[in-house]
Amino acid sequence: MNVDNFRLQIGGKEYVPIIIGGMGVNISTTELALAAAKLGGIGHISDAIVSYVCDRIFNTTFVSRKRKKYAQFSNNPDKSAVLFDLEEVAAAQKKYIEYTISQKTGSGDIFLNCMEKLTMNSGIETLKVRLTAAMDAGIDGLTLAAGLNLRTLDLIQDHPRFRDVKIGIIISSVRALAIFLKRAVRLNRLPEYIIVEGPLAGGHLGFGANDWHTFDLKTIFTEVLAFLKKEGLNIPVIPAGGIFTGTDAADYLQLGAGGVQVATRFTISKEAGLPAEVKQNYLNAKEEDIVVNMASTTGYPMRMLTSSPTLRYAIRPNCEGLGYLLENGGKCSYIDAYYAAIAEREAGQPLAVKEKTCLCTGMANYDCWTCGHTTYRLKETTNMLANGKWQLPTAEDIFLDYQFSTDQAIRLPKPEVT
């Protein structure tokens, strides 16, 4: 029994039951998402720091224009006046998504991972613009992430695609799901899919920094299945976090999963957006190099490599150009930590910012090496080259291995001739 024996049904459409997660900032690139769609699965892109992503891809100037507009606040801890131009947010979102959708081939689809926690100093207004622009641009599905998303559906209920765009939610507990569904029922707009993210996932986690290891994906997944059955709801449930082999995926499908979401193994694919030298750091990582900390300004625990350069940041906040994690009112815990470090620094000593990091800058510069717990196993999935570096597999190599492998085997990519 392998993954190819199953199919995922979402909104009346059939897919190979493999979803590549939406890793920001631009780790899940257009190219990575397109590879999944071409093979009949679902690929995610992320709209995390989308104006910066557009500038990198299209040579637009969204970030520099915003930075110039608010330059007077660069040395001011009060960022309450640093706001996004909503028309520019919409323009960046549409440009990026239209570019991706226009290249889609195959029978699969492209979904957008949209994080509620990107509050952008105006949480409701900016979230509405991001979602609306994504639907205007033709996105196939919206995955609501990084938050309870209690009012998210309200923001788009009047959009003409509200009923036909595929909408899913990422949750880490039955309780979070039940809260979301109460509002969805009132709007008569249930999600087409539910992604259950366990404690071994990468990036931000829906668990405590000190007790995440007391939870496990399979238990939460079966609790969600039981809850939906009790409520008489037939919604595909998609486990995520720590599903490392095709056999792991097939096991969940046999337990009743609609599909699986995977990401860690694709971080080192040729199509992923991480720089090649960073991918080598992922491949060389040991289990003890992977930690869960509270360095993120979102308030959520975050899993990353201890060698992440962002953990040693002592840089001035870059809110004028970026500012995606500014809370309403212009607050950010990194701003507080940065100015506290300046006040406490002794003469002649280097600046050291404790506990928090400038996540916007770290993610934009690929200095925040978020990862899943199984990252230390990536070396099992590829070949060592003659020069001592690891071969980077293609997204197709990884996807097909998930789809067809059995007995916990991992099919290595065809060795490169060097």
Residue 405 above 80 pLDDT?
yes
162-207 pLDDT, tens digit each: 999 999 999 999 999 999 999 999 999 999 999 999 999 999 999 9
Q: What is the three-class DSSP state of 109?
A: strand
pLDDT band at 348 (very low <50, low <70, confident <90, very high): confident
CB-based contact 122:324 (threshold 8 Å): no
Reported CATH class of domain 3-274+392-404: alpha beta
For residues 167 and 125, the answer to whether their CB atoms sit within 8 Å is no
Confidence (pTM):
0.96
Which class for 396: exposed (0-12), middle (13-18), buried (19 or more C-beta within 10 A)?
middle
**Number of neighbouring beta carbons within 10 Å of residue 119:** 22
What end-to-end distance do the CA atoms of the chain give, in Å?
Answer: 36
Confidence of residue 418 (pLDDT cuts 50, 70, 90): low
What's the Rg (C-alpha) of the chain?
Answer: 21
Q: 254 and 11 in contact (C-beta within 8 Å)? A: no
H helical segments located in 293-405: 333-344, 359-364, 395-404
- All structural domains of the chain with their residue ranges: 3-274+392-404
The rounded mean pLDDT for the chain is 96
What is the distance between the alpha carbons of residues 323 and 119, in angstroms, rounded to a whole number? 9
The CA distance from 353 to 313, in Å, is: 7
pLDDT one-digit tens code per residue, 44-97: 999 999 999 999 999 999 999 999 999 999 999 999 999 999 999 999 999 999
